[in-house]
């Protein structure tokens, strides 16, 4: 598997892992206020989803300013349950995987007209690395928020993904 595609699979697995942990906890945890990077875990999950959606749009041909505008409402749209986040994340993952099936040329560059910075030619592989890195950063926020609320988090490191992936591959 291409390293960029593998990193996306890790990102998807890590999102499902943290959602699975939150699902094990009382449903109130999702919307409980915390003094952290986001007011609630739901806000953090919405942010990850919005940014993943924005980058998917860019990867599939939408100009960055248009993609940003389209995804601003997603950033503040807080869903009611972990199940709803799971459905949303799964649907977006399916879209990414469909795009990945096209076997993108990872070294191809796009001109990003980033409204917060200067235009930049950026490789598809760099964009995918950013998607994964951004998600990792904010899953760390979620882990911290869980601890602040008195709950243990769950490991979702890339190195753990290697073992999960190998276990799944070895099963009949």
> How confident is the model over 119-143, as pLDDT tens digits?
999 999 999 999 999 999 999 999 9
Q: Which of 55, 165, 33 is nearest to 104 (CA)?
A: 55
CATH class of 3-170: mainly alpha
Q: What whole-number percentage of the chain has pLDDT above 70? A: 95
Residue 145 confidence (pLDDT): 98
- Ordered by start, the domain boundaries in the chain are 3-170
């Amino acid at each position: 598997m291409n390293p960029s595609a593998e990193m996306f699979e890790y990102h998807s697995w890590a999102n499902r892992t943290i959602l699975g942990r939150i699902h094990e906890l009382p449903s109130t945890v999702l919307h409980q206020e915390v003094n952290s990077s986001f007011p609630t875990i739901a806000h953090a999950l919405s942010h990850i989803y919005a940014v993943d959606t924005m980058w998917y749009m860019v990867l599939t041909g939408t100009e960055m300013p248009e993609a940003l505008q389209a995804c601003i409402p997603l950033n503040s749209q807080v869903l009611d349950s972990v199940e709803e986040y799971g459905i949303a994340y799964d649907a977006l993952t399916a879209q990414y995987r469909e795009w990945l099936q096209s076997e993108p040329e990872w070294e191809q560059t796009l001109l990003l007209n980033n409204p917060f910075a200067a235009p930049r030619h950026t490789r598809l592989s760099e964009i995918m690395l950013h998607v994964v890195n951004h998600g990792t950063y904010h899953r760390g926020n979620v882990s911290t928020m869980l601890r602040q609320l008195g709950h243990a988090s769950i490991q979702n490191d890339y190195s753990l993904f290697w073992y999960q992936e190998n276990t799944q591959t070895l099963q009949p």
